[in-house]
Amino acid sequence: MTICVFDAYGTLFDVKGAARLAAQEPGNEALAQVWPRLASDWRQKQLQYTWLRAVAGRHCDFWQVTQDGLDWALEAAGLDDPVLRENLLALYWRLPAFPEVPHMLARLAEKGHPTAILSNGSPAMLSAAVSSAGIGDVLHATLSVEEVGIFKPASAVYDMVNARFGGTPADVLFVSSNGWDAAGGAGYGFRTVWVNRAGDPLDRLYATPTKILTDLTSIPELA
């Protein structure tokens, strides 16, 4: 039986959702003018800080790099607003799931596939996101890098899947919206799907995804 494992942020949960929702609130007209760029900068810095900390051996939890990335993005956008900062951070704890996620996970559950999240996110962040999206009843596990103290794509992170479920990497279908993460999983030995929602070029790395999709709808057919 295929074990279906999903990255969380950008794959199940829309990381642009916090900035988009805040931009729609009264009084946030300045954010409304720049929110797409701010959301992009926030995400890019968040990821860059995970890689740099992993290489340097200076691990911290994902909530810290999330705050650090936002602070960089706010300064780059010229937005010095502590109230806005706190609102954006609060919204990050309840990011919206992509529309196809609940039905897709329910279909996997109906077919009897074990399902899990494997994420850089801290346990508290992931618990909040799963609860907010209402998908806890169709997930068998939520695995956080905090168990091993290093961010993806370190092999120790991917090791957690078979440590939890048994089997071998070949039994796993790993799904991520991050091209580098899909490549990392492929290099580890997982069968991987890159959910390329933005139509980005393929990353030039040591491995390539097994399949490239534009959303998660057809994942049950691949499991």
Active site residues: 7
Q: Count other C-beta atoms under 10 Å from residue 134's C-beta.
A: 11
CA-to-CA distance for 210 and 51, rounded, in angstroms? 23
Which run of H or of E encompasses 192? strand 191-195
CA-to-CA distance for 213 and 221, rounded, in angstroms? 12
Residue 126 token pair: 């992931």
The 10 Å CB-count burial string (b at 16+, else e) for 38-56 is bbebbbebbbebbeebbee
